[in-house]
Amino acid sequence: MGYIGQHGVMALQRYKYSGVDHSIVSKYILQPFWTRFCFILRLLMVSASSCFQITLTGFMFLVTSALLGYIYSPQLDSAPPRWVNFAHGLLLFLYQTFDAVDGKQARRTNSSSPLGELFDHGCDALACAFEAMAFGSTAICGRSTFWFWVISAVPFYFATWESYFTNTLILPAVNGPTEGLMLIYLTHFLTAIVGGDWWGQHIGKSLPFFSWLPVISEIPTFKAALFLMIVFAVIPTVTFNIQNVYGVVHARKGSMLLALAMIYPFVVLLAGVLIWDYLSPIDLMGKYPHLVILGTGLAFGFLVGRLILSHLCDEPKGLKTNMCMSLLYLPFAIANLLTAKLNNGVPMVDEFWVLLGFCVYTATLYLHFATSVIHEITTALGIYCFRSPLNTPLFNIQDNKKRSLRCDCAFGSTGGRIYIITMEQSIIGQPQKANPHRMNKNKVQKNFLDFHFVSVASSPRPLQEYTLLFKQLEKVIKMYNVQFVINISEDPLLMNVTTFLQQPEVLLHTTRSLEGQGPVYYQKKIDLPHGRTLDVTAINTKAFQGPAQKNQFSSLTKILKGSQSDWHIAIGYHSLVNCSVDGEKSDELASEQLYHTLLNTGVNAYISGQTCLTYVPKEGSGEISRGDVENEGLSFTFVNPNLIPMENVDGFVLHRISAVEFVSYLVNIKGDVRTVALQPKGRDVM
């Protein structure tokens, strides 16, 4: 059967990966190492090696590690030789390294694609099972090894579920792929020194500083580690995931129950396996831990792969019925156990063969899914899986040419709604030929999208720079049939920007010249095509200071909630984020109250006339302070639960609104496109 429909193909062709890693260890320690290792890898392997080959090689390290554990500890209840523990740690370290550099190789060879994300995360899902087996042999966990798989699978599934709704994979400051794996392979190395029996001791003996706790000190060390990981890692991570999803669903006025329904297959999988083990006349997990984890891990891999594919293909939110295919075997296994009630405690089919059949079934299901999806995606995108595009550049950029935006897109329609295939960069006035490995020539056509407008702000600059700015504005206005310009600048030359551009038909909305005393001093409803509307609200952020700010926020909330338009942009003087010590934007909000007011009233984007504030307000204060700002300019931020402010650009922002999404492109005075940001709407909103 096919897994990807026509709408899915179009969604794949416009898909762009988004991820944020806040890990300090990754940023300052591992990333520099991975960059150097990627260079070494090019020398050891073929320079044009596919990123998929690197991913698969890293995955095979964990398969090898699990096999070593099986050979020396078949039931995970006896200590293997210490060199095996060291090998477990080394192989896990290599897996983490290869998993990190495959993306760097993809970007180097211009072979990044949705298939790469699916392949990479699919291998990571299976890796949970194989590493659980390896750790079980190191810590001599026996039947409890299954629970170590559970505590790795649960946060992995919830993180995948979260990214499905937020469209961004968010890794917090302490996360599993970085600090979690580092802790595990350091544990393997430690065990190679102290011996595996260390894990079977009471934790009061293994770690004497726990000996003063009367109850905990009597728990075996590996069970104490399991408990600590659940309390301090799994529960906070899952809570963080649920909060982020709730914030997105609430902002889009969707159904949280519909979102939670996507967790149902995973819960049923865990419950089914636990019921099977509970009813089994033999100690299923204790006697065959490798088979139980392997079969369950393959079923889990199918669930995760199907969830990721739904995200890539922009499928409607909710329960995916074919995800339940991984659960079909469990009722037969449980029914076989019930026959033991009629046969003197002996099931109709021996438990070993039923368990082996479970592994065969889930392996067949997963392999069918993997091969089918790889074939469908490579066919749809015109790419290869295990072959690199041989360093062919995506576009032939000519020297001494200004770069700007070109839209290569195809229109498709499902249910009266428009979908866009892809957006790329090229040279103004001279589109370049795209890499055939990245685009399907039969489906990609050049066309322009529904509605465009520009927002601009600038500090005083030399006349030559004004000339460049106006030239770029004029080109973009003509090229994309821009309907209006939002000017939030106090610069006199930009107050009448359309006069300088000789574009009298383009409407100009100048918000700064209409400053008032209340929380809002300018509000305009703008008609868009197809009966849609856009609200532009200029907020007097200078008024949110002093004892009256509480009343101002209350008035602002009422005004913003009154918007009935499809899209809503807020404009203010101050940025939503603070500057860090080095003057760059940080993750700290300049005004928590303003941000949450915008978020809770459904504002899509916020534009400010300065990049960020140079100092942080006092803790607990909602007051906005201007600070000493050296460079004023336009700062554009999508308002969502995962606030990711866009870079300031010395130029302007081109916005495109369609029936399903809001896209913004930051363009500087040289015509360089610095950032592309997307906020989906329509099918992505429940």
Name the least confident of 221-235, 341-355, 671-685. 671-685
* Residues carrying CATH 3.60.21, the chain: 451-655
- How far CA 519 is from CA of 233, 491, 592, in Å, comes to 43, 23, 16
Determine the Cα–Cα distance for residues 78 and 137; give it in Å rounded to an integer.
7
Most confidently modeled range among 170-179, 461-470, 563-572, 640-649: 170-179
Determine the Cα–Cα distance for residues 56 and 116; give it in Å rounded to an integer.
11
Q: What mean pLDDT comes out for the span 107-117? A: 79
What the block records as the tokens of 282 is 């033999």
The whole-number pLDDT of residue 411 equals: 29
Residue 183 neighbours by CB under 8 Å, 6+ apart: none
Q: Is residue 608 classed exposed, middle or buried when 0-12, 13-18 and 19+ CB atoms within 10 A define those classes?
A: buried
Identify whether the C-beta of residue 569 lies closer than 8 Å to the C-beta of residue 603: yes
Q: Rg (Cα) of the chain, in Å, rounded? A: 28
| Helical (H) or strand (E) element with 76 | none
Among candidate residues 7, 22, 88, 121, the one labeled active-site is 121
**Percent of the chain residues past pLDDT 70, beyond the cut:** 71
307-337 residue pLDDT tens:
999 999 988 877 777 888 999 999 999 999 9
The whole-number pLDDT of residue 94 equals: 96
**Residue 263 pLDDT more than 90?**
yes
The whole-number pLDDT of residue 509 equals: 65
578-637 residue pLDDT tens:
655 444 454 555 677 788 888 888 888 888 766 554 433 444 444 444 333 334 456 667
Strand partners, 220: 202
92-106 residue pLDDT tens:
999 999 999 888 877
383-439 residue pLDDT tens:
778 765 543 332 332 333 333 333 333 323 333 322 222 233 322 222 333 333 332
pTM of the model: 0.60
| Annotated catalytic residue 121 | yes
Residue 471 neighbours by CB under 8 Å, 6+ apart: none
134-151 residue pLDDT tens:
999 999 999 999 999 999
Mean pLDDT of the chain: 76
10 Å Cβ neighbour count for 448? 11
Domain 451-655 = CATH 3.60.21: yes
Strand partners, 208: none
* Residues carrying CATH 1.20.120.1760, the chain: 6-381
Identify whether the C-beta of residue 670 lies closer than 8 Å to the C-beta of residue 236: no
170-187 residue pLDDT tens:
888 888 899 999 999 999
What the block records as the tokens of 370 is 């993997």
The whole-number pLDDT of residue 508 equals: 64
Domain 6-381 = CATH 1.20.120.1760: yes
